[in-house]
A = this chain, B = another copy of it.
Amino acid sequence: MVSDSSAKRLTIYDLARLAETSPSTVSAVLNGTWQRRRISKKLANKILSIAQSEGYSANMQARALRRERSGIIGMVLPLYDNRYFSSIAQHFESEARRRGLFAIVACTNRDPAQEREAARMMLAYRVECLVSTGATDPDTISAMCDESGVASINLDLPGGKAPSIISNNREGAQKLTHAILDQLASQAPSDDTILFIGGRAEDHNTRERIAGFTQARTERGLTTSEADIIPCDYAADKAQVALEAYMRHRTTLPSAMFVNSTISLEGIVRWLQQGGYQLDDMIVGCFDWDPLAAAFHPHLIMARQNVGEMIDRVFGVMDTPSPDASLLIEVQPDIMGG
């Protein structure tokens, strides 16, 4: 092609020389402000065609520096390899692209220090908005953003210093619990204990889900024992160990389970396998959705969080001039399977 080995990239100065005009004119033509600057259509076309044929592409760093707008939006995410979060990343990115923005996503392993570090990097790259997804410490991130004059939004977990978009965890859990109880009722079970397992007692979502779970049981005239609620963290291993411990005091499986994430589900299933049980020996509801799990076990009831709508709401808030930091938008999850 045109490029020689030295591969110096073309600048507007090069184009100006080629088109026998000035850099400012080239700039105006290439960023679309040429009509406002009364550049003739003829010259504009000439510049455009030269830029095209030479394969010019603007240096975004220079543009960002001068405009004081980077065109970048950032997201911190606990992890990628889970269908919920990866779907969030994917939607975020494609919507950003649709808007001519560049999305950068960093995953921070549910570690507050990594969250802060990632936020610091993103702010250094002058992101225009930072979305903290499932952050353990969203308020610190919001505070960092505030100091830099950058908008921040919480997703999945609410925070007090920025608008939050979350699933309606309480109502989702309530519906999921009712679905479990419906299935249970159709089987004339020996008892109606449901083991709630997984998640973190400190985190908002888990607390809400426990509340929804308890509420649904109350609505059915059932009481709920503290001992049947085990927020043992999300990790598969933790769930497996917790179930192991729980079962030491029982001779039979509980008739149903409310598993607080697909990650925890992994641990549950491993324990069941080891004990020679099958998932279908129980009624199982899971708060989160995984298509492979759905394929394997059509009876598995899953609460699928509405990622598409959540991301739409995120961008909706981004478009709001100065959103209220206490804004809390709740999106209904869907109950799948069963």
Residues of A within 8 A of B (CB): 1-3, 6-9, 55, 57-62, 64-65, 70, 79-83, 86-87, 89-90, 93-94, 97, 102-107, 117, 120-121, 123-126, 146-149, 236, 262, 265-267, 269-270, 273, 279, 290-293, 295-298
Query: Among the listed B3, B94, B292, which residue makes an inter-chain contact with A146, where contact means beta carbons less than 8 Å apart?
Result: B3
A293, closest chain B residue (CB): B292
Residues of B within 8 A of A79 (CB): 90
User: B104 and A104: CB pair below 8 A?
Assistant: yes
Residues of B within 8 A of A60 (CB): 61, 124-126
User: A148 and B9: CB pair below 8 A?
Assistant: yes
User: A57 and B295: CB pair below 8 A?
Assistant: no
User: B81 and A102: CB pair below 8 A?
Assistant: no
Residues of B within 8 A of A57 (CB): 120, 123-124, 148
A143, closest chain B residue (CB): B1
User: B93 and A86: CB pair below 8 A?
Assistant: no
Residues of B within 8 A of A269 (CB): 292, 295-296
Residues of B within 8 A of A123 (CB): 57
> Per DSSP, are chain A's interface residues mostly helix, strand or loop, or mixed?
helix
User: A80 and B89: CB pair below 8 A?
Assistant: yes
> Can you list 6 residue pairs at the A/B interface with Cβ under 8 Å?
A1-B147, A57-B120, A61-B62, A80-B80, A81-B86, A97-B106
Query: Among the listed B61, B148, B266, B293, which residue makes an inter-chain contact with A126, where contact means beta carbons less than 8 Å apart?
Result: B61
Residues of B within 8 A of A83 (CB): 81
User: A93 and B120: CB pair below 8 A?
Assistant: no
User: B80 and A106: CB pair below 8 A?
Assistant: no
Residues of B within 8 A of A6 (CB): 149
CA–CA, A64 and B124, complex, Å: 12
User: A59 and B126: CB pair below 8 A?
Assistant: yes
A88, closest chain B residue (CB): B80
CA–CA, A8 and B149, complex, Å: 7
User: B93 and A87: CB pair below 8 A?
Assistant: no
New contact pairs (13) apart from A7-B147, A81-B83, CB-CB < 8 Å: A7-B146, A8-B149, A57-B120, A57-B148, A59-B126, A60-B124, A61-B126, A80-B87, A90-B107, A102-B104, A102-B125, A236-B291, A266-B291
User: B61 and A125: CB pair below 8 A?
Assistant: yes
A67, closest chain B residue (CB): B61
A122, closest chain B residue (CB): B102
CB distance from A157 to the nearest CB of B (A): 20
Residues of B within 8 A of A265 (CB): 292, 295
Residues of B within 8 A of A7 (CB): 146-149
CA–CA, A311 and B180, complex, Å: 43
User: B55 and A147: CB pair below 8 A?
Assistant: yes
Residues of B within 8 A of A90 (CB): 79-81, 107
A83, closest chain B residue (CB): B81
User: B102 and A59: CB pair below 8 A?
Assistant: no
User: B266 and A292: CB pair below 8 A?
Assistant: yes
Residues of B within 8 A of A297 (CB): 296
